[in-house]
Copies of this chain bind each other. A is one copy, B any other.
Amino acid sequence: VATTALTRGRGRGRPRPALTRERVLGEALRLVDEEGLEALTMRALGGRLGVEAMSLYNHVPGKRALHEGIAELLWTELERSVKPVPDWRRSVRAFAEGLRRLARDHPNAFPLLFAMRVSPAPGLRAFRSQLETLRAAGFEEGRAADILRAVCGYASGYAMLELSSLSVSPTGEREGEESDLDSLWALARSLPPDLPPALAEVARTVCICDASRQFEVGLEALLAGLDPARNML
């Protein structure tokens, strides 16, 4: 099953792109996206790369480093996806929406963002860009950090909540009613059969919602509450 021709010296038939840290981490993220976090196994990852599990240790010091590397890829994606704008409200909102988009694009990998004790460089750069916008808007440093932390907490928390328990009825899709029925059905099926009807009703009220609209509702409220222009009464 092993192919011996790794990097053909010949005419660049490109038999395989040669193993690198980047390729290992990229494939790891893809594996997690497709099969879940617990499917990420040194042996499985090696298999996808056409290599034995032990070869990975030449490019990555261990499984923990694999997790950290994936988190770094996510931060990089966030940094790339949220462009700086001068208006602080729009900037911070874009940051929050970027975090949520990250959670939707990589639901299986998203929890890894919180597994690291401190964010890697791309994450810190994204933070810095927000802090600069806030300072330029006139906030002092401490207040700018307050705002950033609050928004970051709300966005990532809501994203995790959405991944775990909120049934999604997508806004932009056509035939919203159908998918409403679908999520209602899915929720009913996922509840324990012996749950008292009153509690099942609570689950329906809490879980069935337009997740995008709800995200905006909370974010809008948070920003309004943080806005100094609103706080003089």
Contact = CB atoms under 8 A, between A and B. Distances in A.
Q: How many of these chains are in the complex?
A: 2
Interface residues of A, number: 62
A158 B165 contact: no
A220 B214 contact: no
Interface stretch (A2-10, A50-58, A174-182, A204-212): A204-212
A121 B209 contact: no
A214 B125 contact: no
A121 B221 CA distance: 29
A9 to B, nearest CB: 35
Interface of A is mostly: helix
Interface in A178-233: 187, 190-192, 195-196, 198-199, 202-203, 205-207, 209, 214, 217-218, 220-226, 230-231, 233
Interface of A: 111, 113-121, 124-125, 127-128, 131, 141, 145-146, 148-150, 152-161, 163-166, 187, 190-192, 195-196, 198-199, 202-203, 205-207, 209, 214, 217-218, 220-226, 230-231, 233
